Structure 1
Amino acid sequence: MSIIFKDAPLTIAVVEAIQTGNVPTLKRLLDENTSLATARIIGNENDDKCMSGMSRTLLHVATDWPGHFPNGAATVAALIDAGAEVNARFTGPHTETPLHWAASSDDIEVLDALLDAGADIEAPGAVIAGGTPLDDAVAFGQWQAARRLVERGAQIALWHAAALGLMNAMEAHFAGASLSERYPWGAGSTSPLDAVTIAFWCACHGGQRPPAEYLLKRGADLNWISVWDGMTPLDTAQRSEAADLVQWLRSQGAKPAIELG
């Protein structure tokens, strides 16, 4: 494994090729520099980050926010053909793979390319409580990516199903076909009722009224304040601009966190 500084001419050239979708130039650079595909990019030589242990790969560059770079799938293919590790991890405060980053950018083209190349759909390490790419997609409201991950076989928890409006999965769960017990964003859970409340909050985050109604009837706390952003279900529904859901929540007595002290 080689190390390259982010401000080195070669690094600047290859990052530009990736982000502009210039696949011929990318392939030429990879051919001329045989260790480039597996290189780790670190901070500038005199940058504090250089000493912090943070690094990423060229596949992370290809999936970096905001994603959707031109010729994304072809770029991913070129990097992997040259030896890039599809499940390589960021090093630093989290250990996200390129698939985590594609999910967080709602980049379906690149997400599919990574999965087709063998990316681990259940890889842990997300910035969101160390979870999976699906956890990132749902937490950041990247709904196309979240649905594609489910289509591609990602394991879902009750809160995922609620946020995505997957009523059949929710009903099956309560009929005994349990979903994953993984909980979002470090929330934890001490009882089934906690899981219902968390899922209710996530339904509101996803703008999903039918799941919200279903979960409120099952005992969800209407005015629970989330541990990760201090928002109530009403707050997060408003943030998601789900007008019909907001109106219904208010009719049920939902309040914003500011009124709950």
Structure 2
Amino acid sequence: MAEDNTPALQRAWALSYLDASASLALARTLQGAPGTDTAEAQLLVALGAARLVAVPEARAELERARQLYTAAPSHPRAEWGQALCDEFEAMLRRRAGDVEGSAQLQAEIDARPAGPRSAMDRFIAHNSRAITTKLQGRADDSLRHLHAALDAAQQTGWPGPVISAGVNLGGRHHDLYNLEDARQFSLQGLQAATDAGAKLAQLVATSNLVYIHHALGEQQEAHATGLSLAALLPGETPE
């Protein structure tokens, strides 16, 4: 009997916003493996590629996923897979500098009849729309999507989406000088990132908190946070 790789696919989804490189690597090992939903494995590769690799290569991975779902209309999650392919295409348009094209596709997706969507689907959609609307200068819409992303992230039960949504929300409130909210969400994101050992998220949240404490006149807290940031940096690349 072929091994059931469904748990491994779920692990790759759980890692996708916690350690995108590890998620992509795991998804690649599952491509074509016995007992694996090949289309879903390719979809996970497309998600990792959309976030990590050059746009042309990422788009090629996305088209492979789309073709697999198109070729299997009876797949129990064919509609779900095609919808996520469109979500990833919107990400790629934005990465290529076509923010308006990304926003247009996202609006088209939202205008379709709403079928069942998992918490992870909703997190991906709202998180991506928050980035798009931020780039468009639509502050209220960006915040609305970030709060919706955090709500969906908490429903996934996975730390990665929760960390990503919390840190992003803290950073966005900081951008808008909503300092109390910025501190609250940044601290929540930092705690979740620390618990999960997500170092990059810790660095981002801690950096934001240094500025937030300074802006609030909390110099001692800013200094202490700066020391914790310095402790995180050894071994990291300059970027």
Instruction: Give the TM-score of the pair, scaled to structure 1.
Output: 0.38
Which structure's CA Rg is the greater one? 1
Say which structure is richer in helix: 2
